[in-house]
Amino acid sequence: MTDRKLSYAGAFNEAVRQAMEADGNVFAAGEDIGAFGGVFGTYAGLQATFGVDRVVDTPISEQAIVGLGIGAAVTGLRPIVDLMFMDFVCVAMDQIVNQAAKLKYMFGGSATLPLTITTAAGAGLSAAAQHSQSLEALLCHIPGLKVVYPSNPYDMKGLMTACIREDNPTVMIKHKRLLGMNGIVPEENYEIALGAAHIARSGKDVTVIAYGRMLNESLTAAKTLAADGIECEVVDLRTLQPLDTASIVASVKRTNHVVVVHEAVRFGGLGAEIAAQIQEEAFDYLDAPVMRVAAPFSPVPFSPALEQHYVPDALSIATGIRAVLERSPVGR
């Protein structure tokens, strides 16, 4: 480990660059990722280094972009295909759900599909309802896909490296508001295993489960509550599918209280699945119902003031944590 700092976007870029240097079968394709470097600059400089045949600017057709990746992957390459905004995943859902996720099954396991789909999710830029959504629960519902959502630059590089090396389809979700976040990132190549959660903060009173931008908001809430003697254990899921249920349950057994946080709308969100798995695996350890802190059931507003109110933050997370502890008949 070094003390070198790199941004979240820079960590993504370095993971792709090092993978392309190490393996000539790795290439990237997407809208404006070539000379422009991507709408958020995450692919900056890669076309200048590797050429137009390995960093490919595509037409504005998400179905075609993912279809290109599927065909390339099943014939032996390791494509990284970029869907500019997560909202645009919906345009390519047939390719993602019925082709990428099913191909290995349809070929009786004989086909491999080392395809990485990258996209940018989340609100906070006043990009309005068609460019701000968090749709990860849709993808997690599809057997055959692995879904990854880093919360910091170190995890971004290690998880992106793991996605590229994975022989099954993965979806790497970047949060737009985290792209400028800086953190310590080693220069050497490294991999963080898919499907393994991380205890970002230890605590004894309540388990807070989060990912992406909400992980950082949860850590801020935990720091605030610590001043009042409430010690939160914060679990960073890192990978959403497959879900590390074992780590979640182990934490719940230690704290007996749970708050699940996500930026996606509350109804039908990943928090509901996590709550269901907790009650199946650790119901007898709960001293209060599982609490969910999430966005209301509404499109993301354009107005900055409304958007700020719409997205959960450290204050609303802290309020949720206090509420679940107040509902505990045994207290803390």
HSE-CB of 169 using CA atoms within 13 angstroms: 28
Catalytic residue check, 257: no
Assigned token pair, 147: 């879904």
Greatest pairwise CA separation for the chain in angstroms: 63
Catalytic residues: 131
